[in-house]
Amino acid sequence: MCDVIYEDNHLLVAVKPQNVPVQLDSSNDEDFLTILKNYLKKEHNKPGNVYLGLVHRLDRPTGGVMVFAKTSKCAERLTNQIKNREIEKTYFAVLNGVPKDRRGRLTNYLKKNEKENTVSIVPQFSEGAKEAILDYEILDSKNGKSLVKINLETGRSHQIRVQMAGINCSVVGDQKYGEEKEKCKLALFSVQIKLIHPVSKKVYTFRVPPPYDEYPWNMFNVSKYLLL
């Protein structure tokens, strides 16, 4: 439940399991932030409260690599990198259908319904609309499904799921935005984060694979594309 792949005095990088909330929500299910704080308390024998800065999020059903700040100063610097679009976030997804263009950029305006916890594509000047931009590339396709690599330029709630559904290629396993009959985990995974270390200023790349052996990932040779 706590797969830490990198840690120093400033950063903690870990793999969030699918269907675990990033932070405590109304479900009161165990959340990833608390799991990691408990890890730090135990690993470093720290009494009392442990600081761990949450600088970005993943939807509950999405798994994959996340970076956290161990100091407030690092949290501020990472947040600024995200605002300035200096952090590169790459996802793999398996889609129902095959986008008509092998590579493409999707730009939409999204609005969240907080009460329903849903997001929809709306006209640009709608009240509360936020710009959402992503680039995608088809890596492989078979049996009416496609494996795609997605680079997020913005980080809106449910962004990839909504934008892909908007081109009639919903993410496999998406019960919320797809006409989904298959009961499998959401086929969306954060496979890579590239950032500038907030203290050393070196460029770090953290990469993890999606669950190779699970459907629908096992339809494709995912490892072949992970170094792209």
> Of residues 59, 101, 140, 213, which has the active-site annotation?
59
β-pair partners for 203 = 196
**Tokens standing for 162?**
């909504």
Q: Which two tokens stand for residue 177?
A: 């935005």
Exposure class string for 133-152: b at 16+ Cβ within 10 A, else e: bbebbbbbbeeebbbbbbbb
Question: Residue 182 and residue 174: Cα distance in Å, rounded?
Answer: 9
Respond yes or no: is residue 59 known to be catalytic. Answer: yes
Which residue in the block uniquely carries the two structure tokens 């989904």? 180
**Sequence letter at residue 143:** N
Q: Which residues are catalytic?
A: 59
